[in-house]
Amino acid sequence: MKYSPGNSSRIAALLLALCWVLTAGNAEAEAGGPKPALKALSADGQMVMSPSDRCPVCAMFPARRPDSAAAMTLTSGETFYFCSNGCLLRTWLRPGAYLGRDRSEIDRLVVWDYFSGRPIDARNAVWVAGSDVIGPMGPAIVALEDSGQLDTFNRRHHGKTVFRFDQLNDDLWRRISTRDLPPAGSE
């Protein structure tokens, strides 16, 4: 946009909107974390996303891309929906930074099995990073229901790193993602 006296109010409005977007995440964290989803994860693991639910990490709307969404339920019963597996895994590593909560408060982690589309427990999934699968945040971190699917997945999508949930830590995250984690003491 070229500057002229007639469009200074539009520039001011754009700057104000940008400031709001940049500070929205900090305000949520200071207020005890983001708002939980309107509807809880169902007992069978189905994600019941509302159009207004926002990913606590990136503020995207998971309902707009339900095939890549993931979910976390806390022991209090609150559910949070994520735009992608990557945002869910980042929150697992830094729940204080993204939810204002301790990891001990996390109860369920649900993701979609890549091939069947069924909800599965993220803690039991086989994870693949570095493939050609693209999600809402860029290269996707894919969940598979079992290791028997690895050959087929790798033949089609050329995954580079395979891991189990209990192997996820800061070092592994740095190898599989270009997205930084908040400092470890920020929780």
Q: Where are the domains of the chain?
A: 7-182
**pLDDT tens string for the chain (187 positions)?**
454 455 555 544 444 443 343 434 433 444 557 999 999 999 999 999 999 999 999 999 999 999 999 999 999 999 999 999 999 999 999 999 999 999 999 999 999 999 999 999 999 999 999 999 999 989 999 999 999 999 999 999 999 999 999 999 999 999 999 999 998 865 5
Could you tell me which residues are beta bridge partners of residue 162? 128
Query: What is the spatial distance between Cα 50 and Cα 81, in angstroms, rounded to a whole number?
Result: 9
Q: pTM of this prediction?
A: 0.82
Could you tell me which residues are beta bridge partners of residue 126? 144, 164
Nearest partner of 89 among 163, 185, 186, 187, judged by Cα? 163
Q: What is the DSSP letter of 180?
A: P
Q: What is the DSSP letter of 37?
A: P
Phi, psi of 23 (to 5 degrees): -100, -10
Q: What does each C-alpha distance from 96 to 50, 74, 75 come to in angstroms?
A: 24, 13, 15
